Amino acid sequence: MKLLIQNGRVVDPVKGTVTIQDLYVEDGRIVQMDKGIQAQADQVIDATGLVVCPGLVDMHVHLRDPGLTYKEDIFTGCAAAARGGVTALACMANTDPVVDSPEQIAYIYEKAAQANGVQVYPVAAVSRGMRGEEPTDSEALKKAGAIALSDDGCNVDNANLMRDAMIRAKGQGLPVLCHCEDTSMVENRAVNEGSVSRQLWLEGRPAIAEEIMVMRDAMLAEETGAHVHICHVSTAKSVDIIRRMKKRGVPVTCETCPQYFTLTEDEVLTQGSLARVNPPLRTATDVKGIITGLKDGTIDVIATDHAPHSAEEKARPLTRAPSGMVGLETSLAITLTQLYHTGKLTLPHIIRAMTCTPATILGLHAKGRLTLGADGDITIFDPEEEWVIDPEVFASKGRNTPFAGHKVKGRVKYTIVGGKVIYRDEP
């Protein structure tokens, strides 16, 4: 298969450049990058006026498969990813059963091989059954194909277990992806502790519950030398802690999600359970702190924490509904709208946080780059096209998003894996 992409605004997230040029992909690899390429091709895409970048890499996705496939499955999750320009994703372990054995890793790879071509990489649990009592066999999980360890969805409260897991993970070259919320301080509370929780007469999830665990896990990273990655950072003080630890040379990276640099806790007052996520939406001060962290590079990655639930589950009262929102099909558009079109971040900065940086953290060194010999995984989007988010047309089984009805600017036109178009936005 030979693919020629002509006249695109090619974003190189590694060099930080934007240039008008052509790309030629043959046998799944980028073999030529230049202006005016003359070559035989099975397919030619005219990308005039469009942005051409590496395929997006989402390092935080809940595919709900195995066991919770009424919410999502690998096929529908990959279809949603393709619509959002995501060509590779890491799926979390909080399924049923939990991904804590080589057999579960094998299941994910086997089913993903039958999907649309989006590359799926399993994240295995830190603790068996995600119960926080006994560490998993990281060596066996690595051999089976796990690319990281995480009990995401649950905090690992036992510091000794987490320390042991980090030591083992370091030995296997696996990053540990940490969900940082002190369980005793948040329990099953639905909203941020603050003005909204007081208006609703609810106990809230205090920001300090996140910040304590961010500090603990960063300190454990410093002590063990393990690579710790903090998931879904939501508070300004968490950003400050990570910034300080990075300056000390601690091997810590982190991510945030579009909801945390776009929405505040006030969204709960109008959207109810659709705005319930863990960690919760915070304050305007926290949103500002998250954006500052993105600007100065403290926050390395923009991920989705794509967390589909059924309509029936999300229709429950706020205190009984599950936490989470879908994001695969809207992440790029919301990010461009909030950060690029407002002048807060440049296009190469945004693309870097959604491609080569997460790929590097996960050890996927052939992903997230537009260089000769790299995988022909490419996303092409129109940064200027406006559209309104409509969950009813999502490919995901999940419709649970507080962004329904939002007008956004930036639309994926083509998603390409290994030189093969797996999604095209039909006019």
d(C-alpha 95, C-alpha 154), whole Å:
12
Largest CA distance in the chain: 67
**pLDDT for 305-361, tens place per residue?**
999 999 999 999 999 999 999 999 999 999 999 999 999 999 999 999 999 999 999
What average pLDDT does this structure show over 233-262?
98
HEC string for the chain = CEEEEEEEEEEECCCCEEEEEEEEEECCEEEEEECCCCCCCCEEEECCCCEEEECEEEEEECCCCCCCCCCCCHHHHHHHHHHCCEEEEEECCCCCCCCCCHHHHHHHHHHHCCCCCCEEEEEECCEHHHCCCCECCHHHHHHHCCCEECCCCCCCCCHHHHHHHHHHHHHHCCCEEECCCCHHHHCCCCCECCHHHHHCCCCCECHHHHHHHHHHHHHHHHHHCCCEEECCCCCHHHHHHHHHHHHCCCCEEEEECHHHHCCCCCHHHHHHHHHCCCCCCCCHHHHHHHHHHHHCCCCCEECCCECCCCHHHHCCCCCCCCCCECCCCCHHHHHHHHHHCCCCCCHHHHHHHHCHHHHHHCCCCCCCCCCCCCECCEEEEEEEEEEECCHHHCCCCCCCCCCCCCEEEEEEEEEEECCEEEEECCC
Euclidean distance between the first and the last CA atom of the chain, given in angstroms as a whole number: 25
**pLDDT for 58-85, tens place per residue?**
999 999 999 999 999 999 999 999 999 9
- The pLDDT of residue 62 is 98
Considering the candidates 300, 305, 375, 377, report the single residue annotated as catalytic: 305
Q: Is residue 427 very low, low, confident or very high in pLDDT (cuts 50, 70, 90)?
A: confident
- The pLDDT of residue 403 is 98
Q: In this model, does residue 289 exceed pLDDT 90?
A: yes
d(C-alpha 391, C-alpha 400), whole Å:
8
Q: Is residue 426 very low, low, confident or very high in pLDDT (cuts 50, 70, 90)?
A: confident
Structural domains for the chain? 55-361 (3.20.20.140)
Q: Is 153 exposed, middle or buried (0-12, 13-18, 19+ CB in 10 A)?
A: buried
Task: Tell me the pTM.
Answer: 0.98
**Is the bond preceding residue 54 a cis peptide, omega within 30 degrees?**
no
**pLDDT for 359-382, tens place per residue?**
999 999 989 999 999 999 999 999
305 is an active site residue:
yes
d(C-alpha 267, C-alpha 272), whole Å:
8
d(C-alpha 398, C-alpha 12), whole Å:
33
What average pLDDT does this structure show over 271-287?
98
- The pLDDT of residue 28 is 95
C-beta of residue 13 within 8 angstroms of C-beta of residue 342: no
Q: Percentage of residues in the chain with pLDDT exceeding 70?
A: 100
d(C-alpha 4, C-alpha 38), whole Å:
9
Q: Is residue 237 very low, low, confident or very high in pLDDT (cuts 50, 70, 90)?
A: very high
d(C-alpha 396, C-alpha 99), whole Å:
21
